Amino acid sequence: MEAWMATAVTVRKPTNVSLDRALVEEARALGINLSQACEQGIAQQVSKQRAERWLAENQAAIDSSNAYVEANGLPLARFRQF
């Protein structure tokens, strides 16, 4: 579960979404709060997209760091206790 959670002071924006009819009927039959379920799903997707975007934006630096370590070893390896 993501660290992000909606709170009582969160400003809500009424939104219309189109969902599969059978899925909505089953969710209602199971007592699932559609607004909360949609919000949680969107929050998960936002978190996933942010992580993917961060990785893409920083991939060159990560590759450079990995190449340095591969060529030269860890900079502070001599201080390791294990």
Alpha helices (runs of H) in the chain, residue ranges in sequence order: 21-29, 34-72
Query: What is the per-residue pLDDT for 7?
Result: 57
Q: Where are the domains of the chain?
A: 24-73
Q: What is the pTM assigned to this prediction?
A: 0.71
Residue type, 44: Q
DSSP state letter for 67: H
Please indicate whether residue 57 or residue 12 has the higher confidence score (pLDDT): 57
CA-based nearest residue to 57, from 46, 49, 68: 49
Q: What is the token pair recorded at 8?
A: 């009582």
Q: What is the token pair recorded at 7?
A: 């709170």
Q: What is the token pair recorded at 33?
A: 């709060």
Query: What is the per-residue pLDDT for 49?
Result: 99
pLDDT digits (tens, 9 = 90+) for 43-79: 999 999 999 999 999 999 999 999 999 999 999 988 9
